[in-house]
Amino acid sequence: MKFFKDLNQSEKLEFFNSFDLVFCDCDGVIWQNLHDALPGSADAVNHLIKLGKKIAFVTNNSLIPCELQLEKFSKININIEKHHFIHPAQSIADYLESLKFDGLILCFGSPAFKTYLQDRGFQLVEGCDGLVGNSIIELRNAIYSTDMVKAVVMDVEFNCTAWKLMRAQMHLKDPECLLVAGAADPKVPFGPGAFIKVLEEATERKAIVLGKPGFGLKDTLLEKFNIQHKNRVLFIGDSLKSDVQFGKMCGFQTMLVLTGATKLRDLEQFAHQNDETGPDIVAESLKDIIHLV
């Protein structure tokens, strides 16, 4: 693990010449507070593009519609093609299409996430977003549905309820019912990572995870970008688990920036407590790349 500021010019040039494709996280790398651009982030991205590097963005954020995400980038003069913006709803829809899936989905997700799946032609169970009464009869009727659900899809849902998880468990007793997950961030307080584990333990099944840091997303990226030489790819992120360890699982080089989820004290604690290797390069922020060459 090296700190970018400690590299001499020769080492910086060697690092820059070691990758051709860049996968970049968004929140905590490009954006702060989900909306405001971090100083210098746009200049850094455009610097990489100008110098011939290919760049794509990989986010776990399906809370904001893709069109609005691309608008945000455009406003800070980063112009990217839609297929170079990878998010969980897209990855899941692509996966289901590859299976020629044609069934009913019980979906845990934001309104934008659900709308995206519906726009791609998938049918979702309706009426699962409210509360049930206190009677056992109402709870039983909510859990034991006659809907022929063929997939349970889980992403970020702020109004996730116990009865909906129970219903998912019932559907997943059918071995042909898929369990598919998007964002699986382990550090988001009671985020999707925790609920995915609840369902996995309750059903004794493993989810197909198509968001970071899932193995399914690894296969998606390798195929989608026709990656032949994994060591020529750089993954940039702000999370040790969702970005750095995911990138290493994929066989990519990794860069951690300290403008988001991970601070210097977190990195020091990680190095002290873990045998796993940390990021290849640590930078204060993405704008440090401007001085790469």
What are the boundaries of each domain within the chain? 2-60+213-289, 89-209
Q: Round to whole Å and give the CA distance between 35 and 33.
A: 6
Please tell me the predicted confidence (pLDDT) of residue 218: 96
Q: Compute the C-alpha angle 5/240/32, nearest 5°.
A: 75
| Residue 238 marked in a binding site | yes
| Residue 174 marked in a binding site | no
Determine the average pLDDT of the residues in 88-98.
96
Please tell me the predicted confidence (pLDDT) of residue 186: 67
CA distances from 139 to 134, 198, 200, 256 (A): 7, 19, 22, 46
Please tell me the predicted confidence (pLDDT) of residue 187: 65
Tell me the catalytic residues: 25, 27
Phi, psi of 216 (to 5 degrees): -65, -35
The CATH homologous superfamily to which domain 2-60+213-289 belongs is HAD superfamily/HAD-like (3.40.50.1000)
CB atoms within 10 A of CB 91: 23
Q: What would be the CATH architecture of the domain defined by 89-209?
A: 3-Layer(aba) Sandwich (3.40)
Determine the average pLDDT of the residues in 180-188.
82
Q: What is the mean pLDDT of the chain?
A: 92
Phi, psi of 149 (to 5 degrees): -80, 130
Q: Is residue 1 pLDDT above 70, yes or no?
A: yes
Half-sphere exposure of 124 (CA within 13 A, CB side): 21
| Residue 6 marked in a binding site | no
Residue 200 tokens, joined:
């996995």
8 Å CB contact between 70 and 42: no
Residue 24 pairs in a beta bridge with 57, 236
Determine the average pLDDT of the residues in 113-142.
88
Whether 2-60+213-289 shares its CATH topology with 89-209 is answered yes
Write out pLDDT tens, residues 2-27.
Answer: 899 899 999 999 999 999 999 999 99
**For 244, which DSSP code?**
I
